[in-house]
Structure 1
Amino acid sequence: MTRQPKLELHHHLEGAAPPAFIRGLAKEKHLDISGIFDAAGNYQYKDFADFLRVYEAATQTLKTPEDYHRLTLAVLEESAKSGVIYCETFLSPDFCGGRDVGAWQDYVAAIRDAAQMAEAQMGITLRGIVTAIRHFGPDKARQTAICAAETAGDFIVGFGLAGDERAGQPADFAWGFDCAHEAGLHLTAHAGEWGGPESVRAVLRDLRVERIGHGVRAIEDLALVDELAESGTVLEVCPGSNIALGLYPNLRAHPIAQLYARGVKLTVSTDDPPFFHTTMTREYENLHEAFDWDEGVFDGFAQTALDAAFCDVDTKAELRKKLETSHA
């Protein structure tokens, strides 16, 4: 499973920070964030709201573009170990320069430079999706969208919405999505995780997204599932995340197999891997064990991810060659 080439579309850069990396930065900066770790040094939280608190506390160690340069290299090194050849990561100007366009541009430059180094050294390609943080509100999301529009191009390729799904309504963020779309960015949004099927319908209707982050609670409305299958809307499914946060008790209870059986286009991702004690290899292994899925199923997920990726056609062509070479 490790050597099988993988493409990951749902991944938060700060959420993928190894705990040891964050502890090291905190020590360098004389910050006391010891309360977010357990005795073994892993991130600890009680529920989804507490997860958001711990996540945001961890980001307090990331103060400069250089910090993000180091973070990007550390994260991509871990991803490459699982055979990931392409990753789209969520980036937020809220954490990178306080939504100031000039500061944000400096952060993007640092992250992009690290990504280019990782591609040359590790063979992994990174692209960025700018995300507004839902529970920070629509006004800040507008500023985030302007940052996204100003850096849209061959590295910043998408715009999305993350954070607490229970805060506000998707329509509240329509201005930001329209702004990003006009700048040529592809669109995705978290939905159907803590909100039910209606949240999936809302982001499709009000934000006109191409992909949906999570989306698994669509299974509660089979008519919606059929609509997703017919339209070819891709779900960025993160099984380990859903289980770790208590959305489902175990993988056998997770709807990924039902969605797959009904013809919905799926990809598999880790979301915030160290928070959920997972890797892309572990996700594949757990799915194989739970549903007896063979290599062909996972090849299909990789192909779906390639087709749904927000990168340009030349990058897709190079990735396609890598997938084909792995089967030669």
Structure 2
Amino acid sequence: MTDYVTVPKAELHCHIEGAASPTLVMRLAEHYQIDVSSIIDRKGKYRWSDFSTFLQAYDLASSVFKTPGDYSLLSETYFRMLAAEGAIYGEVFISPDHAQAAGLSYRSYVEGLAAGMERAKLDTGIEGRMIAIGVRHFGANAVERVAREVIANPHPLVTGFGLAGDERDGHPSNFSKAFRMADEAGLGLTAHAGEFGGPESISAALDFLGVTRLGHGVRAVEDKSLVRRLIDEKIVLEVCPGSNVALGVYPVLRFHPVNILRNEGVRITLNSDDPPFFATTLGQEYKTVSTTFGLTFEDQLAITRTAIDAAFCDEATKNRLLVRLDSATSDAE
């Protein structure tokens, strides 16, 4: 039987505010005298019922993070938890719009998050990077504003640019300018597509945004020619099975197309998205997918290798991570 903690893991798709545990949110809510009882039940679990109430719960939980120190605590807590589950690398989506809502400058927000990530790295060795995201339903101007802010305030740990928010709102062509700016600045590019939108949403993201990765992307399975395109163009999917099931995209894990896509030859990774909201963790994703679809230790290592290959970090860091992965492979033999 596989010891799931010993499988080195890597995560490419997790929203940092969505990684806040109810315990941490309640602690800060008490400090700032914010009432979060509507979104956290008596058992200390997040409470929401559909995508709209999930977003409301997410925004209220995010509102308790107000200072660089709060964000530092959040990132350190999350990266330590990742490392405890055997992760050697993690990328988190950061939202300048949430920072702005908290009254923080983009620079202060990033510096706070980076400080926590560095503390976690010092103790556990886990590498981390950040991907700044624009919010689709805020419109093209808002997404371009985020791109300009990221480019004007470079930070060594902010290495990617992405698009999140309501996939059904705004055609990808609206955001092509923002992605062109980010690409010219040397940032890695990813976009949420193929979660609540169908194959046409994925095709449009590929056509207009120049991404090398897709957040979710699993509904490509509905179009054979699109699956072939993903394979031919070596597009990496940031698959979040637990999130998809929790939000009702698929009824149960065994009906999720992650393994169909993997067997077809699509490059897939496993990720937790907003872990405490969906009662999951990165380790849980590796474990449940492997148990449900019969993945071996080697299969899981291959998924991690795909994530490292697709990571938005420099080659020297990738090489160090691959050495760690290879040593785990030889230890298992």
TM-score scaled by length of structure 1: 0.97
Quote the residue 1:134 is aligned against: 136
Q: In structure 2, list runs of 5 or more residues that go unmatched.
A: none
Pair 1:68-2:71 in alignment: yes
The SS at the match of 1:218 is helix
Does structure 2 conserve the Cα–Cα contact (< 8 Å) formed by 1:210 and 1:234? yes
The SS at the match of 2:133 is strand
Quote the residue 2:54 is aligned against: 51
The one-letter code matched in structure 1 to 2:189 is L
Separation in 2, partners of 1:289, 1:226: 27
CA separation of 1:76 and 1:108: change in aligned 2, threshold 3 A: same
Pair 1:158-2:142 in alignment: no
Pair 1:28-2:35 in alignment: no
Separation in 2, partners of 1:141, 1:64: 23
The one-letter code matched in structure 1 to 2:207 is R
Match of 2:12 among 6, 9, 18: 9
Matches within 5 A, 1:1-328: 1-98=4-101, 103-328=105-330
The SS at the match of 1:27 is helix
Separation in 2, partners of 1:112, 1:24: 21
Residues 291-319 of structure 1 show CA distances to partners (whole Å, capped at 9, x for unaligned) of: 11111111110110111001001111111
CA separation of 1:233 and 1:262: change in aligned 2, threshold 3 A: same
Q: Deviation of residue 289 (structure 1)?
A: 1.6
Separation in 2, partners of 1:317, 1:154: 18
RMSD of Structure 2 on Structure 1 (CA): 1.4
Q: Deviation of residue 153 (structure 1)?
A: 4.7
Q: Deviation of residue 38 (structure 1)?
A: 2.0
Q: Deviation of residue 237 (structure 1)?
A: 0.3
Separation in 1, partners of 2:101, 2:41: 29
Q: In structure 1, list runs of 5 or more residues that go unmatched.
A: none
Residues 119-151 of structure 1 show CA distances to partners (whole Å, capped at 9, x for unaligned) of: 011121110000001122222111111122123
Separation in 2, partners of 1:99, 1:162: 19
The SS at the match of 1:274 is helix
Number of residue pairs matched by the alignment:
327
Separation in 2, partners of 1:53, 1:225: 34
Does structure 2 conserve the Cα–Cα contact (< 8 Å) formed by 1:152 and 1:183? no
TM-score scaled by length of structure 2: 0.95
CA separation of 1:309 and 1:41: change in aligned 2, threshold 3 A: same
The SS at the match of 1:35 is coil
CA separation of 1:144 and 1:99: change in aligned 2, threshold 3 A: farther
The SS at the match of 1:288 is helix
The SS at the match of 2:96 is coil
CA separation of 1:7 and 1:183: change in aligned 2, threshold 3 A: same
The one-letter code matched in structure 1 to 2:329 is H
Residues 139-186 of structure 1 show CA distances to partners (whole Å, capped at 9, x for unaligned) of: 211111112212345311000001111111111111211111111111
Separation in 1, partners of 2:253, 2:173: 32
Which 4+ stretches in 1 moved above 4 angstroms? none
